[in-house]
Amino acid sequence: LPMSGIGEILKAVGDFGLFQKWLVLLTLFPCLGVAFHQFCQLFMVPHVPHHCDTSWIRAVGPNLTEEEQLNLTLPRDADGVYEQRSMYSPVDWDLVSIVAYGLNSTEKCSNGWVYPSAQPPSLLTEFDLVCDRKNLNDISQSIYMLGLFLGSMIFGPLSDRIGRRPVILISVFLQGLFGVGIAFVPHFYVYMAFRCVVGASVSGITMTILALATEWVGVSSRPKAVLISHCCFAIGQMFLAGLSYGIRNWRLLEIAGSAPIFAFFFYIRVLPESARWLVTKGRIEEARKVLQKAASINKRTIPPGLLEQPGVSFACFDSLAFCILKLKPETQTKSGSTLDLFRKKHLQKVTLIMSCAWFVNSLVYYGLSLNVTNFGLDIYLTQLAFGAVEIPARVGCIFMLQWFGRKKTQAVLLLLSGLVCLIITGIPEDQPVVTTVLAIIGKFTASASFSTSYVYSAELFPTVVRQTRVGLCPMAARVAGIIAPLIHLLGQYHRAIPMAIFGSAPVVGGLLCVLLPETRGTDLVDNTGGGR
């Protein structure tokens, strides 16, 4: 696209000068917090040995040892281990009768559970996320993902209405307030409600900050800025592994991961408002001042009269997703609508396949990421590896797109992600090293596939409906993020079911991508008139 309007002014300011570099650097800090909130709950629900609270027998046998109490009140499984989900029904007998005749009738735990006293406080021990309440763990992960979805729907339009900086300020305040507030919740349902708000605020922060940075960076350097933010998200995952290893108390961990966002208030005053947004709102004088300041920092000069050029519109969806700028020259191409995506046959195929690709990509990504506690190895080392592997995946994706093209890269990466998960279903439980290595490979391919989707889908759709696409595909990915934790619940019927679903879905998506056209080396299509 030719440079015109505000884009021509920003070219004079400098595509990626000192001003933009400092701006990108300032926006990286919140990306670290995104990874924390995304995956911190994995370390707050460790597996802890437990059994039913049978202290009722203390009324008739106050001098019983702990082992004697458990032996009289808890049934044993086939391996001779005390049952965790049931106990012998309490009776009104004296201790002599209980010892002589024993107890036979069993029931579910009715008075709570007992955990090792040396165990640091966790969500599991404080809110009894065991037995019938175990499913609340995965449900709460879905609630957080729902918050991310709602945040993208709320804060995106809000930032277009009132500006980037006010939305960043509101989102930072909400994330800090409710993030720290989570550490003091008295009930798990309150915890889930607070997590939903945190998810919405995380979406607002990252989406708006990424929008702000992208609107200031030139077209040629924009992929670099987005790649840096993705790598920072990966570093945040690695940082989470170390932080959670050092802080085992879940409330202190929540404070340690949430409170630092308040430091953002100290430098939010130096964050500029988007010049593009100011121009589209007719606030030319404010735009002129901030552009002149940027030019001054970059040691550039804006030619007189450039600020009177036409503006641009901006759309950004998803918390770490693709942002697109649509230039507004004086003569505009006729805009498209959502219906065009389904009315035109060639667009209908592209829309359905790419939405499916985003959906299955998100499904396998979160299916693996939220399952680190079940691969069998140390969860802290696994999380560290999961974060580290994303960096070469994101960077390597750039070269794969250049060497192999968009279609082959997208299809092969999705197929590999799915095949790895399907192979995991056949690995015995006593082979945790093999399972974890395969999971890390799957995380690599899923991460690289995600980066491919941003580029490929933007090139597949015509300019007049590209912004509509930018909203539709990440929305499919967000829905998959909500569903992924719920699929883990199926593991109670058979441990292979979740991985079978996470594996088969991307295989189907990868095969469908074969039907898409190649876009490497082709010009972007501007209208919906014809297919590729």
Assigned CATH class of 333-531: mainly alpha
> Residue 523's pLDDT is what?
52
Cβ(140)–Cβ(196) below 8 Å: no
- What are 227-236's pLDDT values in tens digits? 788 888 899 9
SS (H, E, C) 115-151: CCCCCCCCHHHHHCCCHHHCCHHHHHHHHHHHHHHHH
pLDDT at 463 over 70: no
> Residue 529's pLDDT is what?
53
pLDDT at 7 over 90: no
Strands 312-316 and 323-327: antiparallel
Report the share of the chain in percent with pLDDT over 90: 35
CA distance 142 to 356: 20
Strands 51-52 and 113-114: antiparallel
- What are 347-369's pLDDT values in tens digits? 678 888 888 999 999 999 999 99
Residue 380 token pair: 């802290």
> Residue 5's pLDDT is what?
59
CB atoms within 10 A of CB 521: 8
Q: Supply the DSSP symbol for 152.
A: H
| Model confidence band, residue 440 (pLDDT cutoffs 50, 70, 90) | very high
Buried/exposed code over 341-369 (b: 16+ C-beta within 10 A; e: otherwise) = beebeebeebbebbbbbbbbbbbbbbbbb
- What are 92-147's pLDDT values in tens digits? 888 888 888 888 889 888 888 988 877 889 999 999 898 888 899 999 999 999 99
| Model confidence band, residue 532 (pLDDT cutoffs 50, 70, 90) | low
> Residue 466's pLDDT is what?
44
- What are 178-215's pLDDT values in tens digits? 999 999 999 999 999 999 999 999 988 887 877 787 77
- What are 284-293's pLDDT values in tens digits? 788 888 888 8
> Residue 406's pLDDT is what?
84
The H or E element spanning position 313 is strand 312-316
Q: Which of 458, 447, 437 is nearest to 395 (CA)?
A: 447
Q: How many helices (H) and strands (E) does the chain have?
A: 20, 6
Query: Mean of the pLDDT values across residues 21-34?
Result: 83
pLDDT at 530 over 90: no
The H or E element spanning position 266 is helix 264-267
Fold match flag (1-47+121-328 vs 333-531)? yes
- What are 319-335's pLDDT values in tens digits? 343 443 333 433 444 44
Weakest-pLDDT range from 171-185, 325-339, 418-432, 455-469: 325-339
Cβ(341)–Cβ(472) below 8 Å: yes
Does 265 or 186 have the greater pLDDT score? Answer: 186
- What are 465-516's pLDDT values in tens digits? 444 455 677 788 889 999 999 999 998 889 899 999 999 999 999 999 998 8
| Averaged pLDDT score across all residues of the chain | 82
| Model confidence band, residue 17 (pLDDT cutoffs 50, 70, 90) | confident
> Residue 467's pLDDT is what?
47
Please list the helix, strand and coil fractions of the chain in percent, rounded to the nearest 5, in that order.
70, 5, 30
Q: What is the identity of the amino acid at 482?
A: I
SS (H, E, C) 329-372: CCCCCCCCCCCHHHHCHHHHHHHHHHHHHHHHHHHHHHHHHCCH
CA distance 26 to 320: 16
Query: Phi/psi at 53 (nearest 5 deg)?
Result: -80, 115
CA dihedral 327, 471, 454, 8 (to 10 degrees): 10
Task: Delimit the domains of the chain by residue range.
Answer: 1-47+121-328, 51-114, 333-531
Does 527 or 507 have the greater pLDDT score? Answer: 507
- What are 40-50's pLDDT values in tens digits? 999 999 888 88
> Residue 147's pLDDT is what?
94
Cβ(325)–Cβ(276) below 8 Å: yes
- What are 367-404's pLDDT values in tens digits? 999 998 888 889 999 999 999 999 999 888 888 888 88
CATH architecture of 1-47+121-328: Up-down Bundle (1.20)
